[in-house]
Protein backbone atom coordinates (compact mmCIF):
# COMPACT_ATOMS: atom_id res chain seq x y z
CA UNK A 1 0.00 0.00 0.00
CA UNK A 2 1.26 3.45 -0.93
CA UNK A 3 0.49 6.31 1.45
CA UNK A 4 0.93 10.04 0.86
CA UNK A 5 1.29 11.91 4.14
CA UNK A 6 0.50 15.63 4.20
CA UNK A 7 1.60 18.11 6.84
CA UNK A 8 -0.67 20.94 5.70
CA UNK A 9 0.31 24.58 5.67
CA UNK A 10 0.47 27.65 3.50
CA UNK A 11 4.04 28.70 4.26
CA UNK A 12 5.27 25.11 4.39
CA UNK A 13 3.32 22.07 3.23
CA UNK A 14 5.08 18.76 3.78
CA UNK A 15 4.54 15.80 1.44
CA UNK A 16 5.89 12.32 2.22
CA UNK A 17 5.22 9.11 0.31
CA UNK A 18 5.88 5.63 1.71
CA UNK A 19 5.21 2.07 0.62
CA UNK A 20 4.21 -0.25 3.42
CA UNK A 21 6.20 -3.46 3.83
CA UNK A 22 5.54 -6.57 5.95
CA UNK A 23 6.23 -6.54 9.68
CA UNK A 24 5.40 -2.87 10.26
CA UNK A 25 8.21 -1.70 8.01
CA UNK A 26 7.94 0.92 5.31
CA UNK A 27 10.06 2.26 2.45
CA UNK A 28 10.37 5.95 1.69
CA UNK A 29 9.40 6.82 -1.88
CA UNK A 30 9.62 10.62 -1.88
CA UNK A 31 9.58 13.56 0.50
CA UNK A 32 9.61 17.32 0.15
CA UNK A 33 8.29 20.52 1.65
CA UNK A 34 6.40 22.83 -0.69
CA UNK A 35 6.75 26.48 0.23
CA UNK A 36 4.90 29.59 -0.90
CA UNK A 37 6.14 33.12 -0.19
CA UNK A 38 4.16 34.91 2.52
CA UNK A 39 4.34 38.11 0.45
CA UNK A 40 2.04 36.54 -2.15
CA UNK A 41 -1.74 36.75 -1.82
CA UNK A 42 -3.45 33.78 -0.20
CA UNK A 43 -5.30 32.80 -3.38
CA UNK A 44 -2.07 32.63 -5.38
CA UNK A 45 -0.43 30.58 -2.66
CA UNK A 46 -3.36 28.16 -2.60
CA UNK A 47 -3.37 28.00 -6.39
CA UNK A 48 0.26 26.93 -6.53
CA UNK A 49 -0.29 24.49 -3.67
CA UNK A 50 -3.15 22.93 -5.66
CA UNK A 51 -0.83 22.50 -8.63
CA UNK A 52 1.92 21.00 -6.49
CA UNK A 53 -0.40 18.59 -4.70
CA UNK A 54 -2.04 17.37 -7.89
CA UNK A 55 1.43 16.75 -9.31
CA UNK A 56 2.26 14.59 -6.28
CA UNK A 57 -0.99 12.66 -6.76
CA UNK A 58 -0.23 12.18 -10.47
CA UNK A 59 3.37 11.15 -9.88
CA UNK A 60 2.97 8.80 -6.92
CA UNK A 61 -0.64 7.58 -7.26
CA UNK A 62 -1.16 6.91 -3.55
CA UNK A 63 -3.79 4.42 -2.35
CA UNK A 64 -4.62 6.72 0.52
CA UNK A 65 -3.82 10.28 1.61
CA UNK A 66 -3.19 10.88 5.33
CA UNK A 67 -3.41 14.50 6.50
CA UNK A 68 -2.59 15.99 9.87
CA UNK A 69 -5.79 17.19 11.47
CA UNK A 70 -5.95 20.92 12.11
CA UNK A 71 -6.61 21.77 15.70
CA UNK A 72 -8.61 24.53 17.29
CA UNK A 73 -6.24 26.81 19.09
CA UNK A 74 -6.66 30.07 20.90
CA UNK A 75 -5.64 32.26 18.03
CA UNK A 76 -7.75 31.57 14.95
CA UNK A 77 -5.51 33.56 12.62
CA UNK A 78 -2.63 31.14 13.09
CA UNK A 79 -4.64 28.15 11.93
CA UNK A 80 -6.51 29.79 9.06
CA UNK A 81 -3.79 29.08 6.49
CA UNK A 82 -3.47 25.51 7.74
CA UNK A 83 -7.25 25.01 7.55
CA UNK A 84 -7.34 26.37 3.99
CA UNK A 85 -4.41 24.19 2.89
CA UNK A 86 -5.93 21.10 4.50
CA UNK A 87 -9.35 21.81 2.94
CA UNK A 88 -7.71 22.16 -0.46
CA UNK A 89 -5.69 18.93 -0.25
CA UNK A 90 -8.64 16.98 1.19
CA UNK A 91 -10.91 18.13 -1.63
CA UNK A 92 -8.37 17.42 -4.37
CA UNK A 93 -7.69 13.90 -3.11
CA UNK A 94 -11.35 13.06 -2.47
CA UNK A 95 -12.48 14.20 -5.91
CA UNK A 96 -10.19 11.51 -7.37
CA UNK A 97 -11.82 8.89 -5.19
CA UNK A 98 -8.70 8.54 -3.03
CA UNK A 99 -9.57 7.78 0.61
CA UNK A 100 -8.50 10.53 3.01
CA UNK A 101 -7.58 9.89 6.63
CA UNK A 102 -6.98 12.49 9.31
CA UNK A 103 -4.68 12.01 12.29
CA UNK A 104 -4.04 14.44 15.10
CA UNK A 105 -0.48 15.52 15.94
CA UNK A 106 -0.54 13.54 19.20
CA UNK A 107 -1.84 10.43 17.44
CA UNK A 108 1.08 10.70 15.02
CA UNK A 109 3.63 11.19 17.78
CA UNK A 110 2.20 8.35 19.83
CA UNK A 111 2.21 6.01 16.85
CA UNK A 112 5.80 6.80 15.94
CA UNK A 113 7.48 7.20 19.32
CA UNK A 114 5.06 5.69 21.82
CA UNK A 115 4.45 9.12 23.37
CA UNK A 116 1.92 11.71 22.27
CA UNK A 117 4.22 14.38 23.67
CA UNK A 118 7.40 13.44 21.84
CA UNK A 119 9.45 16.34 20.51
CA UNK A 120 10.39 16.97 16.90
CA UNK A 121 13.81 15.37 17.24
CA UNK A 122 12.42 12.13 18.66
CA UNK A 123 9.90 11.92 15.80
CA UNK A 124 12.63 12.57 13.22
CA UNK A 125 14.91 9.95 14.76
CA UNK A 126 12.18 7.30 14.76
CA UNK A 127 11.10 8.13 11.20
CA UNK A 128 14.73 7.79 10.08
CA UNK A 129 15.03 4.41 11.81
CA UNK A 130 11.66 3.02 10.68
CA UNK A 131 12.36 3.89 7.06
CA UNK A 132 15.91 2.54 7.27
CA UNK A 133 17.46 5.81 6.12
CA UNK A 134 21.15 6.62 6.49
CA UNK A 135 20.39 10.15 7.61
CA UNK A 136 17.31 12.15 8.67
CA UNK A 137 15.09 13.09 5.71
CA UNK A 138 15.63 16.54 4.25
CA UNK A 139 14.52 19.28 4.39
CA UNK A 140 14.48 19.25 8.19
CA UNK A 141 10.73 19.73 8.52
CA UNK A 142 9.95 16.97 6.01
CA UNK A 143 9.95 14.19 8.61
CA UNK A 144 6.48 15.17 9.85
CA UNK A 145 4.78 14.27 6.57
CA UNK A 146 6.50 10.88 6.60
CA UNK A 147 5.50 10.39 10.23
CA UNK A 148 1.84 10.99 9.31
CA UNK A 149 2.09 8.40 6.53
CA UNK A 150 3.76 5.85 8.85
CA UNK A 151 1.18 6.53 11.56
CA UNK A 152 -1.56 5.84 9.06
CA UNK A 153 -0.02 2.58 7.86
CA UNK A 154 0.06 1.29 11.41
CA UNK A 155 -3.44 2.36 12.29
CA UNK A 156 -5.00 0.35 9.51
CA UNK A 157 -5.37 1.99 6.18
CA UNK A 158 -8.97 2.38 5.19
CA UNK A 159 -10.45 1.98 8.64
CA UNK A 160 -8.82 5.27 9.65
CA UNK A 161 -10.83 7.37 7.26
CA UNK A 162 -12.21 10.63 8.48
CA UNK A 163 -15.71 9.23 8.56
CA UNK A 164 -18.06 10.03 11.41
CA UNK A 165 -17.32 7.75 14.32
CA UNK A 166 -13.90 6.90 12.98
CA UNK A 167 -12.25 7.08 16.37
CA UNK A 168 -14.77 4.77 17.91
CA UNK A 169 -14.34 2.44 15.01
CA UNK A 170 -10.59 2.44 15.42
CA UNK A 171 -10.78 1.81 19.11
CA UNK A 172 -13.03 -1.15 18.58
CA UNK A 173 -10.77 -2.57 15.91
CA UNK A 174 -7.61 -1.90 17.85
CA UNK A 175 -6.86 -5.50 18.75
CA UNK A 176 -8.28 -7.05 15.64
CA UNK A 177 -4.93 -7.32 13.84
CA UNK A 178 -5.45 -6.19 10.26
CA UNK A 179 -3.04 -7.29 7.48
CA UNK A 180 -5.03 -9.46 5.22
CA UNK A 181 -8.03 -9.54 7.52
CA UNK A 182 -10.15 -6.58 8.58
CA UNK A 183 -10.05 -4.52 5.41
CA UNK A 184 -13.30 -5.79 3.98
CA UNK A 185 -15.56 -4.11 6.48
CA UNK A 186 -13.70 -0.81 6.21
CA UNK A 187 -13.80 -0.94 2.44
CA UNK A 188 -17.52 -1.47 2.60
CA UNK A 189 -17.89 1.59 4.81
CA UNK A 190 -15.85 3.62 2.40
CA UNK A 191 -17.77 2.48 -0.63
CA UNK A 192 -21.00 3.32 1.18
CA UNK A 193 -19.78 6.81 2.02
CA UNK A 194 -18.72 7.31 -1.58
CA UNK A 195 -22.13 6.27 -2.88
CA UNK A 196 -23.86 8.59 -0.44
CA UNK A 197 -21.81 11.48 -1.71
CA UNK A 198 -23.15 11.11 -5.24
CA UNK B 1 -17.29 41.78 -16.72
CA UNK B 2 -18.56 38.47 -15.36
CA UNK B 3 -18.24 37.89 -11.62
CA UNK B 4 -18.78 34.64 -9.72
CA UNK B 5 -19.64 35.34 -6.09
CA UNK B 6 -19.04 32.59 -3.53
CA UNK B 7 -20.59 32.36 -0.07
CA UNK B 8 -18.33 29.59 1.18
CA UNK B 9 -19.45 26.74 3.40
CA UNK B 10 -19.48 22.99 3.74
CA UNK B 11 -23.16 22.51 4.53
CA UNK B 12 -24.22 25.26 2.15
CA UNK B 13 -21.99 26.92 -0.44
CA UNK B 14 -23.65 29.71 -2.41
CA UNK B 15 -22.69 30.47 -6.02
CA UNK B 16 -23.96 33.55 -7.86
CA UNK B 17 -22.90 34.79 -11.29
CA UNK B 18 -23.59 38.30 -12.57
CA UNK B 19 -22.63 40.33 -15.61
CA UNK B 20 -21.91 43.96 -14.88
CA UNK B 21 -23.80 46.56 -16.91
CA UNK B 22 -23.34 50.32 -17.26
CA UNK B 23 -24.59 52.69 -14.55
CA UNK B 24 -24.05 50.35 -11.60
CA UNK B 25 -26.50 47.80 -12.93
CA UNK B 26 -25.93 44.10 -13.21
CA UNK B 27 -27.68 41.11 -14.74
CA UNK B 28 -28.05 37.80 -12.96
CA UNK B 29 -26.66 34.87 -14.95
CA UNK B 30 -27.04 31.99 -12.51
CA UNK B 31 -27.46 31.31 -8.83
CA UNK B 32 -27.60 28.21 -6.65
CA UNK B 33 -26.65 26.83 -3.27
CA UNK B 34 -24.58 23.65 -3.29
CA UNK B 35 -25.20 21.45 -0.27
CA UNK B 36 -23.39 18.44 1.15
CA UNK B 37 -24.86 16.17 3.83
CA UNK B 38 -23.34 16.69 7.27
CA UNK B 39 -23.39 12.92 7.79
CA UNK B 40 -20.70 12.50 5.13
CA UNK B 41 -17.02 12.74 5.96
CA UNK B 42 -15.39 16.13 5.44
CA UNK B 43 -13.10 14.91 2.66
CA UNK B 44 -16.04 13.56 0.63
CA UNK B 45 -17.92 16.82 1.13
CA UNK B 46 -14.92 18.86 -0.02
CA UNK B 47 -14.40 16.51 -2.97
CA UNK B 48 -17.93 17.03 -4.23
CA UNK B 49 -17.65 20.78 -3.59
CA UNK B 50 -14.49 20.82 -5.72
CA UNK B 51 -16.37 19.10 -8.54
CA UNK B 52 -19.29 21.49 -8.25
CA UNK B 53 -17.13 24.61 -8.17
CA UNK B 54 -15.02 23.55 -11.14
CA UNK B 55 -18.24 22.92 -13.06
CA UNK B 56 -19.35 26.48 -12.30
CA UNK B 57 -15.99 27.82 -13.49
CA UNK B 58 -16.23 25.74 -16.68
CA UNK B 59 -19.82 26.71 -17.37
CA UNK B 60 -19.71 30.43 -16.63
CA UNK B 61 -16.04 31.33 -17.19
CA UNK B 62 -15.97 34.28 -14.78
CA UNK B 63 -13.41 37.09 -15.15
CA UNK B 64 -13.08 37.24 -11.40
CA UNK B 65 -14.18 35.20 -8.38
CA UNK B 66 -15.31 37.12 -5.27
CA UNK B 67 -15.41 35.15 -2.02
CA UNK B 68 -16.74 36.15 1.37
CA UNK B 69 -13.85 36.40 3.77
CA UNK B 70 -13.94 34.01 6.70
CA UNK B 71 -13.81 35.73 10.03
CA UNK B 72 -12.18 34.77 13.26
CA UNK B 73 -14.89 34.08 15.78
CA UNK B 74 -14.89 32.78 19.29
CA UNK B 75 -15.60 29.20 18.41
CA UNK B 76 -13.05 27.86 15.97
CA UNK B 77 -15.04 24.71 15.19
CA UNK B 78 -17.83 26.70 13.57
CA UNK B 79 -15.53 28.32 11.03
CA UNK B 80 -13.38 25.32 10.20
CA UNK B 81 -15.72 24.08 7.46
CA UNK B 82 -16.01 27.57 6.04
CA UNK B 83 -12.24 28.01 6.06
CA UNK B 84 -11.75 24.68 4.29
CA UNK B 85 -14.40 25.48 1.68
CA UNK B 86 -12.95 28.94 1.07
CA UNK B 87 -9.42 27.57 0.81
CA UNK B 88 -10.61 25.01 -1.73
CA UNK B 89 -12.48 27.50 -3.92
CA UNK B 90 -9.64 30.05 -3.72
CA UNK B 91 -7.09 27.47 -4.80
CA UNK B 92 -9.23 26.10 -7.65
CA UNK B 93 -9.89 29.57 -9.06
CA UNK B 94 -6.31 30.79 -8.65
CA UNK B 95 -4.81 27.75 -10.38
CA UNK B 96 -6.76 28.75 -13.49
CA UNK B 97 -5.33 32.22 -13.33
CA UNK B 98 -8.66 33.76 -12.34
CA UNK B 99 -8.24 36.74 -9.99
CA UNK B 100 -9.75 36.14 -6.56
CA UNK B 101 -11.10 38.94 -4.36
CA UNK B 102 -12.15 38.65 -0.74
CA UNK B 103 -14.82 40.81 0.90
CA UNK B 104 -15.95 40.74 4.50
CA UNK B 105 -19.64 40.29 5.37
CA UNK B 106 -19.90 43.90 6.55
CA UNK B 107 -18.24 45.20 3.40
CA UNK B 108 -20.82 43.32 1.35
CA UNK B 109 -23.74 44.60 3.42
CA UNK B 110 -22.43 48.16 3.30
CA UNK B 111 -21.96 48.03 -0.47
CA UNK B 112 -25.44 46.64 -1.12
CA UNK B 113 -27.56 48.44 1.49
CA UNK B 114 -25.43 51.33 2.74
CA UNK B 115 -25.19 49.75 6.18
CA UNK B 116 -22.64 47.20 7.35
CA UNK B 117 -25.21 45.92 9.82
CA UNK B 118 -28.07 45.30 7.42
CA UNK B 119 -30.07 42.14 8.02
CA UNK B 120 -30.53 39.28 5.61
CA UNK B 121 -33.90 40.53 4.38
CA UNK B 122 -32.57 43.99 3.50
CA UNK B 123 -29.72 42.45 1.56
CA UNK B 124 -32.10 40.13 -0.31
CA UNK B 125 -34.43 43.00 -1.14
CA UNK B 126 -31.63 45.15 -2.50
CA UNK B 127 -30.14 42.29 -4.50
CA UNK B 128 -33.56 41.62 -6.04
CA UNK B 129 -33.92 45.27 -6.95
CA UNK B 130 -30.38 45.79 -8.27
CA UNK B 131 -30.63 42.75 -10.53
CA UNK B 132 -34.13 43.73 -11.69
CA UNK B 133 -35.65 40.41 -10.63
CA UNK B 134 -39.41 39.85 -10.31
CA UNK B 135 -38.93 37.91 -7.08
CA UNK B 136 -36.12 37.27 -4.60
CA UNK B 137 -33.57 34.76 -5.93
CA UNK B 138 -34.07 31.16 -4.86
CA UNK B 139 -33.10 29.20 -2.84
CA UNK B 140 -33.59 31.68 0.00
CA UNK B 141 -29.95 31.74 1.04
CA UNK B 142 -28.71 32.25 -2.52
CA UNK B 143 -28.90 36.04 -2.37
CA UNK B 144 -25.68 36.27 -0.35
CA UNK B 145 -23.54 34.92 -3.18
CA UNK B 146 -25.09 37.45 -5.59
CA UNK B 147 -24.54 40.21 -3.04
CA UNK B 148 -20.83 39.35 -2.88
CA UNK B 149 -20.61 39.52 -6.67
CA UNK B 150 -22.45 42.86 -6.80
CA UNK B 151 -20.29 44.25 -4.00
CA UNK B 152 -17.23 43.30 -5.96
CA UNK B 153 -18.46 44.90 -9.18
CA UNK B 154 -18.94 48.20 -7.39
CA UNK B 155 -15.62 48.09 -5.69
CA UNK B 156 -13.77 48.08 -8.95
CA UNK B 157 -12.83 44.66 -10.18
CA UNK B 158 -9.13 44.11 -10.08
CA UNK B 159 -8.28 46.79 -7.58
CA UNK B 160 -10.19 44.78 -4.98
CA UNK B 161 -8.08 41.68 -5.37
CA UNK B 162 -6.76 40.05 -2.28
CA UNK B 163 -3.29 41.32 -3.01
CA UNK B 164 -1.05 42.77 -0.32
CA UNK B 165 -1.75 46.45 0.10
CA UNK B 166 -5.19 46.20 -1.44
CA UNK B 167 -6.90 48.01 1.39
CA UNK B 168 -4.55 50.95 1.24
CA UNK B 169 -4.93 51.13 -2.49
CA UNK B 170 -8.70 51.14 -2.30
CA UNK B 171 -8.85 53.69 0.47
CA UNK B 172 -6.71 56.05 -1.55
CA UNK B 173 -9.07 55.71 -4.46
CA UNK B 174 -12.00 56.63 -2.29
CA UNK B 175 -12.78 60.06 -3.59
CA UNK B 176 -11.73 59.56 -7.17
CA UNK B 177 -15.28 58.92 -8.35
CA UNK B 178 -14.81 56.32 -11.00
CA UNK B 179 -17.25 55.93 -13.89
CA UNK B 180 -18.28 59.54 -13.35
CA UNK B 181 -21.45 58.31 -11.67
CA UNK B 182 -22.71 58.32 -8.10
CA UNK B 183 -20.16 55.81 -7.04
CA UNK B 184 -18.20 58.17 -4.85
CA UNK B 185 -20.61 58.03 -1.96
CA UNK B 186 -20.94 54.28 -2.11
CA UNK B 187 -17.20 53.92 -2.21
CA UNK B 188 -16.89 56.15 0.81
CA UNK B 189 -19.41 54.05 2.69
CA UNK B 190 -17.56 51.01 1.73
CA UNK B 191 -14.19 52.42 2.75
CA UNK B 192 -15.72 53.36 6.09
CA UNK B 193 -17.13 49.88 6.59
CA UNK B 194 -13.71 48.55 5.72
CA UNK B 195 -12.07 50.65 8.38
CA UNK B 196 -14.71 49.74 10.95
CA UNK B 197 -14.34 46.08 10.18
CA UNK B 198 -10.69 46.08 11.21
Residue-level pLDDT at B78: 67
Task: Tell me how far apart the alpha carbons of residues B115 and A192 are, in angstroms, rounded to a whole number.
Answer: 47
Summarize pLDDT for A95-147 with one digit per residue, the tens: 999 999 999 999 999 999 998 889 999 999 999 999 999 999 999 889 999 99
CB-based contact (8 Å) between B58 and chain A?
Answer: no
Task: Tell me how far apart the alpha carbons of residues A121 and B118 are, in angstroms, rounded to a whole number.
Answer: 52
Query: Residue B85, exposed/middle/buried by CB under 10 A (0-12, 13-18, 19+)?
Result: buried
Residue B172 annotated to the active site = no
Q: Is the domain defined by A2-157 classed in CATH 3.30.420.10?
A: yes
CB-based contact (8 Å) between A182 and chain B?
Answer: no
**Residue B76 and residue A80: Cβ atoms within 8 Å?**
no
Residue B63 annotated to the active site = no
Residue B141 annotated to the active site = yes
Please identify every residue of A annotated as catalytic.
7, 68, 141
Map out the domains of chain B as residue ranges: 2-157
Whether A33 has a pLDDT exceeding 50, the answer reads: yes
Residue-level pLDDT at B74: 54
What is the pLDDT tens value at each position of chain B, 198 positions in all? 999 999 999 999 999 999 999 888 899 999 999 999 999 999 999 999 999 999 999 999 999 999 999 776 656 666 888 999 999 999 999 999 999 999 999 999 999 999 989 999 999 999 999 999 999 999 988 999 999 999 999 876 434 444 433 333 333 333 333 332 233 344 444 444 444 443
Cα nearest neighbour of A43 on chain B = B90
Closest among A47, A115, A194 to B41, alpha carbons compared: A194
Task: Tell me how far apart the alpha carbons of residues A60 and A83 are, in angstroms, rounded to a whole number.
Answer: 24
Residue-level pLDDT at B161: 43
Residue-level pLDDT at A49: 98
Contacts with B46 from chain A: Cβ below 8 Å: 87, 90-91, 94
Task: Tell me how far apart the alpha carbons of residues B138 and B197 are, in angstroms, rounded to a whole number.
Answer: 29
Q: Between chain A and chain B, how many beta carbons pairs sit less than 8 Å apart?
A: 132
Q: Where are the beta strands (DSSP E) in B63-121?
A: 64-68, 100-103
Summarize pLDDT for A61-104 with one digit per residue, the tens: 999 999 999 776 656 666 888 999 999 999 999 999 999 999 99
**Residue A72 and residue B76: Cβ atoms within 8 Å?**
yes
The model's pTM: 0.78
Q: How far is B134 from chain A (nearest CA, A)?
A: 33
> Which residues, other chains included, contact B130 with Cβ-Cβ below 8 Å and sequence gap of 6+?
B24, B25, B26, B112, B150
> Which residues, other chains included, contact A102 with Cβ-Cβ below 8 Å and sequence gap of 6+?
A66, A67, A68, A69, A162, B42, B43
Residue-level pLDDT at A79: 81
**Residue B50 and residue A93: Cβ atoms within 8 Å?**
no
Q: Does the N-terminal peptide bond of residue B139 adopt cis geometry, omega within 30 degrees of 0?
A: yes
Amino acid sequence: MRILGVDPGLTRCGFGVIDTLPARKAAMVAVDVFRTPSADSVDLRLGSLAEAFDTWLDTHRPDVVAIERVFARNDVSTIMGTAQASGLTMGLAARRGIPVAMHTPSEVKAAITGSGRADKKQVTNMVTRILGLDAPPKPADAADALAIAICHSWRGALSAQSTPGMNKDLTERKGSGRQGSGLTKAQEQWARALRNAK
